[in-house]
Amino acid sequence: MEALNNILTLINEPVIQFFLWVAVLFVIASIFVDRRLSFWISSVGATYFWVKSQDPKVALKAWLVVLTVFAVVLFLKYIFNLNVVLLLKGKKRCPMCCEEAYRKAKVCPHCHYRFSSETDECKS
């Protein structure tokens, strides 16, 4: 019961509502166009809606959250050469062809390069 209450308080949070809007717009847009374009349509659309009819400060706060996440991901990528997106997918890039392969793969599915270890990957 407490978990449900926590979820309800979270949904009442305007920033969360903003992200729910983005998610709904994204799902609708992705029926018609590809994911990259849907991302832009949903984020710009939600921002426009919130600035026009809700609280513009909420849109600003939500964008700060998004930019912070982007900054952290880029920071990890360029400072520690750690690709968070690939890590979450359980993948790495082959050092020979730089295509994606599963972290535990022994041989690259694209060029048949033999990995020497799990951390043997494309550095670029």
Give residues in contact with Zn ion (CB under 5 A).
94, 96-97, 108, 110-111, 113
* Shortest CB 45 distance to Zn ion, Å: 39
Closer residue to Zn ion in complex, CB, 61/100:
100
* Minimum CB–partner distance for residue 31 and Zn ion (Å): 34
Name the residue nearer to Zn ion (CB basis): 76 or 105.
Answer: 105
Whole-number Å distance between alpha carbons of 101 and 4: 39
CB 77, min distance to Zn ion, A: 20
